[in-house]
Amino acid sequence: MSVVGAAVRTNFYQRDEDGQPKARVSVKLLPRELSLLPEPRPAFEIWVYAPRVEGSHLRFGAVARGGLRWSDRREDFRTEVLGLVKAQMVKNAVIVPTGSKGAFFAKQLPDPSVDREAWLAEGKAAYTTFISGLLDITDNRQGEEVVAPDRVLRYDDDDPYLVVAADKGTATFSDLANSVARDYGFWLDDAFASGGSAGYDHKEMGITARGAWESVKRHFRELGLDTQAEDFTVVGVGDMGGDVFGNGMLLSEHIRLVAAFDHRHIFLDPDPDAERSYAERQRLFELPRSSWADYDTSLLSEGGGIHPRSAKSVPVSPQVRERLGLPEGTTSLTPHELLRAILSAPVDLLWNGGIGTYVKASTETHADIGDRSNDAIRVDGRDLRVRVVGEGGNLGMSQLGRIEAALHGVHVNTDAIDNSAGVDSSDHEVNIKIALTPLVADGAMTMEERNELLESMTEEVAAKVLRHNYEQNVLIGNGRSQREVMAPVHQRLIGYLRETAGLDPALEFLPDRKEWARREREGLGLTSPEFSVLVAYAKLGLKDALNDSELPEDPAMTQTLVNYFPGPLQEVAGERLQAHPLRRQIVVNEIANAMVNRGGVSFAYRAVDETGATLTQIARAFHVVRAVFDMNTFMAQVEELDNEVDTDTQTELYLEFRRLIDRGVRWFLNNRSLSSRMEQEIEHFAGPVQSLVPVMEELLQGTELDRWQERVDWARKRGVPQELAQAYASLLDSYSLLDVTELSMDMDRDVREVAEIYFGVSEAFSLDDLLTHVSNLPRPDRWSSLARGAMRDDIYGVMRGLARTVAERTTPGSDSVERVEEWMIENRDALVRTSQVLRTVGAMEEPSLAPLSVALRTLRGLVRQGSATD
């Protein structure tokens, strides 16, 4: 009965063209109402049953996307798809829809060895029936109106968004799916299934490999190697005819591919010439239906060879033995032994572009992995000797295998991070087609013109997609640089995401208490694979919260929506973009990506924890802060330093701006109302702040100016250009410009005058040193973090109060130093005790919260006395 109660739609009462009951039954369920189902439970499930096919489609939200696969698992295809949809949900954290996945099992297939064409035709027929069953009970759109399907009684809300994508066995079925959608008059038309004949071809774009290559380049930059300018050694899984492997192995002319394998052949080239081998790989990539057997063996280095995997034994030359790090005396290996040796070879990069799971953890059994076909060749993460892993393919490593490898020094993320560009480009395609549909319908554009426009925007779409891959790698690198000091915060973040974003720490293999204790003893924090999981859930939780808010409708978000689309589309569609059916979701996705990528994985959580604000309020403050401080310009300048300075230097620059974001967001939450005036706030603050930042050297005085110059010198010595070095050195002082600007508005004074007084006061009372002591306070728990943040805010409040009273009670027009001195003379009696306390605290090497609190209270008293009227 519980299953019946969870059923909200069916096509049971629909009729075919002859008025007869349809030869399929579709039922839509709400799995979260069924406690008998295993976790994770998606939001929606459609089950399709017919004589020739059975299938299940799972969605984690109303707006979701993912592939449909042709399953060969008759009894448990739902189990298969359930495992895939969780990974899809995590991968989709970077795009507009959440995760979905479907699988169908064709029940009347002929023997492919007898008649492959008939076998394929029946598979397509089963796929068509499955797609039809999904559309039978899916709402449609007619203009702005949502229309329910005929003869369907709905017990749920409107649900018109259904898209599918290619997957195992259905790579060439997109046009077929779109033809079914057209037969139904479905509003998405050929946006229903991306990648069809009028869509973005992933292999032609090479987009999945290019996205994963952003991870590879970042990993090697951290190791001091430029993959686009220096030779490096590679082993891989795949062949040059494949999309991900083939495209990937053409992304640098400095690749020295020493070994690779697919399901047919083993390729060995122990000492390749980078230039000649690149050209030969290019030839194979362009050769239809190529395999490693087509490689020109005359180009192989001494000792190399190409061998069938079916061989009983493969000869191992001295050159191969040395390259793969095999024991002395090894002259031959079985294919399985050789493949294990390739996977664990001591080379620079392992590039996975194949199908299967090849790396597990030593704590896992092969049965735990569920990929029996590769049990004989799978290796443990601790046995990898590569420096970097690039996961162009899906599920090439188990998550525990990744973590184990990372703990042993391998640079590796997750497949969801590395190969997200494929699903990202498909999502852009769908949203672009949706935007253009009204223009085609109104006759403003023909379908041919639409298709030409799509093609013309290919590289701009690719650039937007690759931007996500790049930024997420920066984000993970930034997180890893703070993994030890921020470990307590990351532990609390996991608890927060468990409560608010559906994170199951055990299911995602995150550290338990025992493992956290071990890592704390050994000075370890989270690994990149673990950060990758937190990135996904941080974005998913943020998007869930913002989707239910009024933020996407705010006029200040208009440009955020427009900027999502390529320039040519912005020009063609114009104001029509604001009527995009997924306007809200696109805006939310862009804001969530920016907040996490630039603010940090724990940014939103810490802001909630320390201010009590809602995620919507925090998002508003973030939007204002990034505009006021011109975040995009600073970040672009740091990115331009790739391979010019080391990544540690770039990370320091990124983190310094993140500190500014942290403090700026808290300032706006505590001092301004942003409920409906983001544009006005940006207008008020951006001009004054951006006018003063370039002259920070002129505003600072004494020891603060010395500190500023030291930071400039530090950056310059590491290769940072002068202008950017000065901008970096000015970042945290720039935060004070918010107080300065508000003071100037409140007092109707020139902002430069107020700034000079403000920094003069800070120098006179050594408030910069006091802030440094506060920043050095430990934060082992939540209350320590809150106390530290509150004290920092109070010190800035003292600076603001002192600046106000000096500005109000001294002679206008005088030099700022003279005005501060004038005020101090007038208040010399009150200054005696203050100076004594500040000197005592300043003499301490690492003052704790107690003496800092006393110093703060003394300064507050000085503000009260100094501002008292005669």
Positions annotated as catalytic residues are 101
How many CB atoms neighbour CB 279 within 10 A? 13
Taking alpha carbons only, the member of 167, 353, 170 closest to residue 244 is 353
Relative to beta strand 53-59, strand 98-106 is: antiparallel
Residues 374 and 838: their CA atoms lie apart, in Å, by 68
Tell me phi and psi for residue 503, to 5 degrees.
-70, 130
Residues 389 and 348: their CA atoms lie apart, in Å, by 9
Beta bridge partners of 29: 7, 45
Contact 681, 672 (CB under 8 A): yes
Q: Report CA Rg, the chain.
A: 30
Both tokens assigned to 441: 């319908």
What is residue 49's three-state secondary structure?
strand
Query: Which secondary-structure segment (H or E) carries 664?
Result: helix 647-671
Query: Which secondary-structure segment (H or E) carries 104?
Result: strand 98-106
Taking alpha carbons only, the member of 351, 251, 259, 262 closest to residue 301 is 259
Residues 62 and 584: their CA atoms lie apart, in Å, by 13
DSSP string, 478-524: HHHHTTTTTHHHHHHHHHHHHHHS---TTTTT---HHHHHHHHHTT-
Both tokens assigned to 473: 């790698």
Residues 50 and 24: their CA atoms lie apart, in Å, by 4
Both tokens assigned to 620: 């508003």
Residues 790 and 792: their CA atoms lie apart, in Å, by 5
* 520 burial type by CB count under 10 A (0-12 exposed, 13-18 middle, 19+ buried): middle
CA angle 54, 60, 66 (to 5 degrees): 60
What is residue 445's three-state secondary structure?
coil
What is residue 365's three-state secondary structure?
coil
Alpha-helical segments (H) within 72-115: 77-91
Residues 105 and 29: their CA atoms lie apart, in Å, by 19
Tell me phi and psi for residue 378, to 5 degrees.
-65, 145
Residues 804 and 351: their CA atoms lie apart, in Å, by 60
CA atoms within 13 A on the CB side of 349: 33
Residues 32 and 561: their CA atoms lie apart, in Å, by 32
What is residue 37's three-state secondary structure?
coil
CA atoms within 13 A on the CB side of 269: 27
Residues 6+ apart with CB under 8 A from 191: 163, 429, 430, 433, 434, 437
CA angle 851, 852, 857 (to 5 degrees): 100
Residues 502 and 32: their CA atoms lie apart, in Å, by 12
Taking alpha carbons only, the member of 57, 59, 48, 44 closest to residue 23 is 48
Taking alpha carbons only, the member of 221, 299, 314 closest to residue 256 is 299
What DSSP state is assigned to residue 189?
G
